[in-house]
Amino acid sequence: MTLILCAMRLEAKPFLKALESSELKKSASYKVYYGEIAGAKVLVAICGVGMDRAAAVVESLLGSYDISRVIMSGTACGIDSSLDIGDTVVSEEMLFYNKNENRLLSDVQAASDTVFKADEFLLDTVRTAIQKDPPDHPVHYGKIATGKSFVTKKIRDIIAGSLNPLCADMETAATAQVCHMKGIPFIAVRSISDNADKSGFAAFLRYASLASKHSYIVVRRLLRELRKAEK
């Protein structure tokens, strides 16, 4: 079974709308929805914003359900100047750009020591799915950076110059770290809700629904291709 993890309900909304034969399972701190998307059995979980929440929820879910892979889906801040609002980034590598808001520069300098790779089979399957059925928006493959705080211009400039990721968020690397420790295949699919040209929380609020939908579109293609590959 595939776990689809989203930080916010807004990001999970397209998945919840698409779920067939859905069933809500509650825990003390999060909600999990069970059902099928594109013929694949999935759990859709909303973990809450931030790396600590994401890591705790995915660790709990891996201990509670028979999960064969984890896909992180949702929004991200565009760091690379070539990315526009709505573009989707599929993770090849994931790392932390900071684990403490007050130690950004020192953490960025050490970040390259902790790099997590996306699962090769999942990455190959996404590429195949997108080649067969390209969505109506660009899909990029590369590095995602994760930190403690919402990306400001200062943070964007620092991590762009030091780490050169395509985008940044607040959950992916933490989820990747737990999955790596547990031996569970992991990949992230994040779409751009804000960037250097359309920056800040106001831009995020304006474009988050579009980005969430685009991320869902790519994940749905991945699920469909996985189902074909496993027949």
- Listed by start position, the domains of the chain span 2-229
Residue 21, pLDDT > 70, answer no
| Predicted confidence band of residue 104 (pLDDT cuts 50, 70, 90) | low
What pLDDT sits at residue 25?
65
Confidence tier at 22 by pLDDT (50, 70, 90): low
Q: Does domain 2-229 have CATH number 3.40.190.80?
A: no
Contacts 24+ apart (CB under 8 A), 158-162: 158/97, 158/104, 158/105, 158/108, 159/79, 159/97, 159/108, 160/79, 160/80, 162/97, 162/108, 162/109, 162/111
- Given a cut of 60, whether residue 18 has pLDDT beyond it is yes
* Segment among 39-43, 171-175, 195-199, 207-211 with least mean pLDDT: 195-199
What 3-state DSSP class applies to 169?
A: strand
What pLDDT is attached to residue 23?
Answer: 63
Give the residue, 147 or 131, on which the prediction is more confident: 131
Do the Cβ atoms of 87 and 191 come closer than 8 Å? yes
For residue 113, what pLDDT band results from cuts at 50, 70 and 90?
A: low
Q: How much is the pTM?
A: 0.91
Q: Which amino acid is at 97?
A: Y
Q: What percentage of the chain exceeds 70 in pLDDT?
A: 89
Residue 229: pLDDT band with limits 50, 70, 90:
confident
Torsion sign over Cα 128, 217, 189, 137:
positive
Q: Taking residues 72-78, report their average pLDDT.
A: 96
Is the pLDDT assigned to residue 99 strictly greater than 90?
no
Residue 190 is encoded by which pair of tokens? 């994040």
